[in-house]
Amino acid sequence: MLFPLLFSVFFLMFLVCHWQNIYAVAKLHKGNSFDTPQLGIRAQVQHLKAYASADALKNACIDPRFKYVTRGCAEYVEWLGQKENPAGKGWAAGADYGEKILAILKGILGTVGGVVSAPAETGSWYRVRKTWADAKLQKGAFMSLSNAKKCADENPGYSVFDESGKAVYTRVAAFKPYLVRVSIPDLNIRKGPGTDHAKTGKYTGIGTFTIVEEADGKGASKWGLLKSYQKNRNGWISLDFAERV
């Protein structure tokens, strides 16, 4: 039921920004007004895009405060709160602002007919740091573990920590191919990593070969995939009989 969901989301935005009084900050400072609800909502969307992305707008800018935003400073909902934003930017100064927005969204998803509710969140924050003790170099705090993992992936050397300080995710470095030297003429090439995989009927022969992947398997401490078999991943040798160059 996509339409009811979209209707609820836009109705919520309408209530939040109110097209007749958007950006009001106090009784003495009246907010900006727009001719139609559609234009008011467009201004709100443009303002959100200013925080989320540095991409150009699709339509003419009608948000009068668009120019005051540091573009792309809050790629995640959690970063809309200045206290959770690694650069101190964001929409609101109040603590846990992003968490409150996510709570509203979860409420919509749980009440709109025909929409399957997502699993309940624990309410925990995940922090992206080099070490738990190094809070000053924190890249961000997230309610979403997937968003926290993405942030860690974008920042080599960083891990995701839960609220107890336990590292729950560290990016594994990409495998780098390397050379090995085989000194026996009859090293079997197998179709998979292990002696439980069939032989291809071929041998490496004596020489130097490139290993593009490693794997555990029966019959050897480690198996290596030969570069010439990389496409179909069907040419493995026991690295116990190979010396790394």
Number of domains the chain is built from: 3
Are 7 and 98 in the same domain? Answer: yes
Which has the higher per-residue pLDDT, 33 or 223? 223
pLDDT: is 130 or 25 the higher one?
130
What are the distances in angstroms from CA 27 to CA 41, 47, 68, 127, 223?
Answer: 22, 22, 22, 37, 71
For the segment 70-78, the average pLDDT, to the nearest whole number, is 84
Residue 119 lies inside a defined structural domain of this protein: no
pLDDT of res. 109: 64
Letter for the amino acid at 55? D
User: What average pLDDT is seen over the chain?
Assistant: 81
Domain annotation covers residue 28: yes
DSSP 45-105: HHHHHHHH--SPPSS----TTGGGS-TTS--SGGGGBTTT-TTS-SSB-STTHHHHHHHHH
Q: For residue 30, what pLDDT is reported? A: 63
Burial of 198 (C-beta count, 10 Å sphere; 0-12/13-18/19+) = exposed
Q: What is the pLDDT of residues 130-150, one digit of tens each?
A: 999 988 888 888 888 888 898
Higher pLDDT, 15 or 148: 148
Highest mean predicted confidence (pLDDT) among 14-18, 28-32, 64-68, 87-91: 64-68
Name the residue range of residue 161's domain: 126-170
Residue with the bigger pLDDT between 90 and 133: it is 133
Neighbouring residues of 68: CB distance < 8 A, sequence distance ≥ 6: none
Question: Do residues 183 and 219 both lie within one domain?
Answer: yes
Same domain? 9 vs 106: yes
pLDDT band at 8 (very low <50, low <70, confident <90, very high): very low
pLDDT tens for each residue of 152-208: 988 888 999 998 999 999 987 778 999 999 999 999 999 999 999 999 999 999 999
Higher pLDDT, 65 or 30: 65
86 and 26 belong to one structural domain: yes
CATH assignment of the domain containing 187: 2.30.30
